[in-house]
Structure 1
Amino acid sequence: MRVFDVPEARPDTAASSITRKRAIFHNAVVFAMDAGLISENLIPRISWSLPEPVDEEIDPASVPNPELARSLLRAVGNQGKRGRRLVAFFGCIYYAAARPAELLELRPSQCHLPRRGFGCIRLQKTRPRSGRGWTDSGETHDQRGLKKRSRKAVRTVPIPPQLVALLRWHIEAYGTAPDGRIFRTLRNGLLHESSYGEVWARAREAVLTPQEYESDLAKRPYDLRHACVSTWLSAGVAPQTAAKRAGHSVTVLLRVYTRFIKDTDDAENAKIAARLAGPVT
């Protein structure tokens, strides 16, 4: 029997995720026993306890406001050929709350890009990076349906004119990969986190003050997704609509973005006051 070193869970991993992955691993071991690959399940002998629950709320201090987000997108485009090819990619994360892995399979046929007004994109596949040893195809990126959805599920996200313009420009300037993908490397490969993460780090360095750069403000490209959802909520978009567009359940949305929903108290109070206006009899 070959012994594998199992890496420790990240300290910010949700307890529910750890429990789910442990159950999956247990089932894999049971399957291996049934197949005669191993003779004994040693998991029950491992001393283990569920870690303390991690606060899943997004810290507003890490989320860029609209002005900063636009400055960061401009800084990405100022990084030469490599950066210009990533502006629309980061734009999709910011303006459409798309997960980076969902954009690796985006094609023009999934985009409605009118010359004026809002358009939309239809997200239906994701390409998370798993490593060659963990995919059936032998490629570094697996091919799956949307997160926690069936393989046939499609998420339609209305996109503002700013993103429509970015996508129209990107497709006109760079075309698509031979298989139709919009976003790709210079050699038509799939984008890697290390590659676009490096561009993002340079954009932060160019825009932020030294103190901000050392903080968690817009630390990861994924923070653009949080910025998008928080902007929707702050603008008064109904939580159920924001959840549908972001690919969340309403329960998760309310749990993760509760601080941004609380920030709308003044606006909501004004609506209630207007509705209740009139003499008390």
Structure 2
Amino acid sequence: MTEWSYTVRIWSIRKRPYRKPFQLRWQVGTRPHSESFLTRGLAESRRAQFVTAAREGEPWDVDSGLPKSMVQKAKDISWYQHARNYVELKWNHSPASTRRNLAEAMATVALALVKDTKGMSDHKAVRRALYTWGFNVHRWKEEPPADVAELLTWVERKSVATSALSDRMLVRKALDACSRRLDGKTSSGSVIARKRAIFHQALGFAVDAELLAENPLATVKWKAPERVEEQVDPECVPDPERAAALLAAVRKQGSRGKHLEAFFGCIYYSAARPGELVGLQLQDCDLPRRGWGVLRLRESRARSGSSWTDTGEAHDRRGLKHRARKTVRYVPIPPELVAMLRWHVTLYGAHADGRLFRTARGGMVQESGYGEVWANAREDALTPAERTTKLAKRPYDLRHAAVSTWLSSGVEPQLVAQRAGHSTGVLFRVYAKFLKGGDEAANAKISARLRERSAPLPKSV
């Protein structure tokens, strides 16, 4: 650990009969230090730097004998190298999707924090090289293609020093880059917020590494573009009749559709996220002959790409969203879904590893595959006018349909949030329009209750 002292003594230059005859001597705390120079001018220049640092009240490193500003300058590195160090620090503790977000944010910032653009290749090519090679720790073990290596060398050469981020205008430049897409248009509020948060953490790491005295982001007055509150648009959500028609249209698409009917059914009837169903095990399904059953959702297998996972598989195995790794979510399922799953098990059984849903070759269900089936079902089940709208545009809209159905049925929001894997805060924010839609029913219930307790109103005269 660095030991700092404010007790400094600096002596005059003395001349000795050696190869470097002019010697500067000084003392930090109780430890003496000296440095020799070929000319008196060089020695006096160094002494002047020390005197200035002492007068400005800088702390001095006892071991090296240098003021803090010089210590920082000696250990300073380029922002590109610092960003790589930061990504490496976070890598082992991050799921694949977070690794991709780190690489995306650091690629954006690194390209903004260059001294100039002289000799720069195509902007998109440089960003792609940074994203796929520069900030992907798994790729560091490989030799990049010659063109990629050339682009990364250019970034390293042109990257500003990390200490330069004490300049607020440079920080603003990076923030502005975080708010723009490659085509120059403004990014969504969630993307801007995510990139800014990652940039803030990287600057904090620079403070910890003693490359910056403080995090400059806290002092920069920069306002991100308006962030639209995340809310489910009722126009996207199919009602029960349309949902049933869409599931029937899935079933009509031959063997591929029949195999995926229960997959989509789980999204609609249990509000499960698609990633939570990709690895769903038969042993985690209670499917009685009559009545309600239960799904035990234990993990999510979101597709992140083999470049970002530790296993080299396209799907990353992780805990439930925003939950501890071993958390299990118990979701009661209605008889309609129980029957659908029992039929699926009878017809297809389970994979050797216990998975209910898989491709024809036994692989993980892919978004591209079930997305195509869903698009065909939508063409078949909706009218031409409905197909031009956002109604049931994505399979994920079935999850929104499930939650909205529960809310409109009068289920307590806390219980809805628990079954859907939300916090109540997220539920109230995301499904605000559906909660408001129940005002009349709620008012009627309150009025009925008040009439039970209230005394008869006096007759008017």
Structure 1 residue runs without a partner (length 5+): 36-43
2:389 aligned with 1:215? yes
Moved runs in structure 1, 4+ residues, more than 6 A?
A: 9-12, 28-32
Matched residue of 2:330: which SS?
A: strand
Matched residue of 1:204: which SS?
A: helix
2:406 aligned with 1:232? yes
Alignment partners' CA distance in 2, 1:191 and 1:31: 39
Alignment partners' CA distance in 1, 2:260 and 2:187: 28
Per-residue displacement from partner, 1:198-243 (whole Å, max 9, x unpaired)? 0000101001111110110000000000000000000000000000
2:441 aligned with 1:264? no
Measured on the aligned residues, the alpha-carbon RMSD in Å equals 2.7
2:316 aligned with 1:142? yes
- More RCO (CA 8 Å, sep 6+): 1
Question: Which residue is equivalent to 2:267?
Answer: 93
Identical counterparts, % of pairs: 60
Structure 2 residue runs without a partner (length 5+): 1-79, 81-106, 108-125, 132-179, 210-216
- Once the 2 structures are TM-superposed, how far is the Cα of residue 49 of structure 1 from its aligned partner? 5.8
Alignment partners' CA distance in 2, 1:133 and 1:242: 36
Alignment partners' CA distance in 2, 1:217 and 1:117: 31
Q: How many residues align?
A: 270
TM-score of the aligned structures, taking structure 1 as reference length: 0.88
2:454 aligned with 1:280? no
Matched residue of 1:230: which SS?
A: helix
Alignment partners' CA distance in 1, 2:271 and 2:187: 21
Equivalent residue letter for 2:232: I
- Once the 2 structures are TM-superposed, how far is the Cα of residue 247 of structure 1 from its aligned partner? 0.5
Alignment partners' CA distance in 1, 2:439 and 2:199: 44
Question: Which residue is equivalent to 1:119?
Answer: 293
- Once the 2 structures are TM-superposed, how far is the Cα of residue 20 of structure 1 from its aligned partner? 3.6
Per-residue displacement from partner, 1:36-80 (whole Å, max 9, x unpaired)? xxxxxxxx8xxx863321231211111000000000000000000
Which residue of 354, 359, 372 maps to 1:198?
372
Equivalent residue letter for 2:224: L
Matched residue of 1:85: which SS?
A: helix
Matched residue of 2:315: which SS?
A: coil
Is 2:181–2:187's contact at 8 Å kept on the other side of the alignment? no
More strand by share: 2
Alignment partners' CA distance in 2, 1:231 and 1:90: 16
TM-aligned CA distance change 1:202 to 1:11, over 3 Å: farther
Equivalent residue letter for 2:300: T
Alignment partners' CA distance in 2, 1:192 and 1:11: 30
Alignment partners' CA distance in 2, 1:28 and 1:187: 43
TM-aligned CA distance change 1:13 to 1:85, over 3 Å: farther
Q: Determine which structure has more spread, i.e. the larger CA radius of gyration.
A: 2
2:328 aligned with 1:154? yes
Question: Which residue is equivalent to 2:120?
Answer: none
